[in-house]
Structure 1
């Protein structure tokens, strides 16, 4: 893709607000920039072409405010050929010097599943879920009232898709998945909703790995959480849960992790891991049998 050249009217919109540009490269095609102003929080600004699928998806998400919507509240400024998406500059969730603790990784998993589930309810597939596309509202910073402190938000809908058959396919849509993660079934064969679930599991696995690199017993990842991530990243797409079922599974897992946190503090690691994993598998069997009885 060609590098974007910011136009006079785009820059004029931002300069009229007393904002100045940080000379940082946030993306390789210069669509995203960081701007700051005196006495105001930093903002990220993305230039979106009129008629672009990404713009339509962002407009759809912004038009449906709900607790499960993990889209950053964004102001859309119309320009001659583009819209500027102006949003608060939130914090990265992975990267050098960032060590996710236990509570943060649980929050990451919960909010990610919640956000993807909400997108799927609107017949939208993100198609590039990755920790690089998840940001967090730092509890120690001041944001607008619409930003929930400590929560995770999903960004970058550049290759997202409308899945409704009523929506026309964009002319520039490619048939294969272009996200960060390679699905086991192959990029050409991956179904977008299933690929989103796979990417959620892979993203959880990524932040779990960052947590284990911290070498802190207090933040050690429980085997049950690793097992949950493996279920979402099953090699056979037919064995992956839907995001709705994954979210229901995680609600149980989250309670289990909180109830058994003391086990990992007090018992030797092998015994704690055995209790955690056996208990989680037992809960899964109970839930599965209950679902079958209802069915």
Structure 2
């Protein structure tokens, strides 16, 4: 049961509480910013591990999307490791991986529809739960509540007319009456890049990076008010990779005259958050899955 000030919080049944208990998970409190009350903060009192548990109805569209993702063997176990220094190069590379992640969805006629920096997360430490392991530093795409799979892809002119009901974090500049979900994903990805890029602006007086070029890439392309002027996600990834290559050359020159920054390896999120999804689906009970 949720706190008194959370009237919409999920009401846990005894069998669900027991299913969590045998996994060593103690029910905590619902997230205050979850309007549906089905996302909870939980913990394992023995290992001190903390979890975010999302409860889904078994007939929900989100569960259908998660199950479909798990059924795609080509998305399992893929990693592209990049030895990159922290801070600026890490932000550059993370966005390249995010674009790669969305491209795979679009190639399978799936629009995420809720892209936001808060729906891309990474593990700060190795996390294990039963047979599943989430590796430190891995980037994950989460929250498929608004995700839709269509019969045709980005170039087919797909339009939805219920954005106000099912839409994501950002209001599309073209209006909400008729929205191309794939083009909307690109716009939302642009807002995410804008926030990432803003976080490295402190280096503007130190590194001679292509600041103006990136600004144009964000505002004139990804976030263009005319949806027909926004690039397809494959073009986004390729153009950003060119920008990353230029920045890498600049950083290499910088490192020749400055102490080398720490290196670390960031795996690619090609497998999305499949370990995390399996944790979500690992306990299916009557009428619900979580």
Normalised to the residue count of structure 2, the TM-score between the two structures is 0.68
1:254 equivalent in structure 2: 244
Report 1:16-165 matches (<5 A).
16-23=22-29, 25=31, 27-37=34-44, 38-39=46-47, 41-66=49-74, 101-138=87-124, 141-144=125-128, 146-164=133-151
1:17 CA drift (Å): 1.6
Secondary structure of the equivalent of 2:43?
strand
Alpha-carbon distance between aligned partners in 1 of 2:54 and 2:95, rounded to the nearest angstrom: 26
Secondary structure of the equivalent of 1:11?
helix
Larger relative contact order (CA 8 Å, sep ≥ 6)? 2
Contact 2:93–2:244 at 8 Å: present in 1 too? no
Alpha-carbon distance between aligned partners in 2 of 1:265 and 1:209, rounded to the nearest angstrom: 22
Tell me: CA distance 1:234–1:209, structure 2 relative to 1, closer, same or farther (3 Å): same
Alpha-carbon distance between aligned partners in 2 of 1:102 and 1:21, rounded to the nearest angstrom: 38
1:65 CA drift (Å): 4.3
1:241 equivalent in structure 2: 231
Tell me: CA distance 1:146–1:156, structure 2 relative to 1, closer, same or farther (3 Å): same
1:103 CA drift (Å): 2.6
Correspondent of 1:178 among 167, 174, 177: 167
Alpha-carbon distance between aligned partners in 2 of 1:61 and 1:259, rounded to the nearest angstrom: 36
1:3 CA drift (Å): 4.1
Contact 1:61–1:69 at 8 Å: present in 2 too? no
Of 100-109 and 56-65, deviating more is 100-109
Tell me: CA distance 1:2–1:226, structure 2 relative to 1, closer, same or farther (3 Å): same
Alpha-carbon distance between aligned partners in 1 of 2:227 and 2:40, rounded to the nearest angstrom: 37
Alpha-carbon distance between aligned partners in 2 of 1:22 and 1:174, rounded to the nearest angstrom: 34
Alpha-carbon distance between aligned partners in 2 of 1:25 and 1:159, rounded to the nearest angstrom: 19
Tell me: CA distance 1:215–1:261, structure 2 relative to 1, closer, same or farther (3 Å): closer
Aligned residues: 228
Tell me: CA distance 1:219–1:54, structure 2 relative to 1, closer, same or farther (3 Å): farther
Tell me: CA distance 1:120–1:40, structure 2 relative to 1, closer, same or farther (3 Å): farther
1:105 CA drift (Å): 1.4
Alpha-carbon distance between aligned partners in 1 of 2:13 and 2:229, rounded to the nearest angstrom: 48
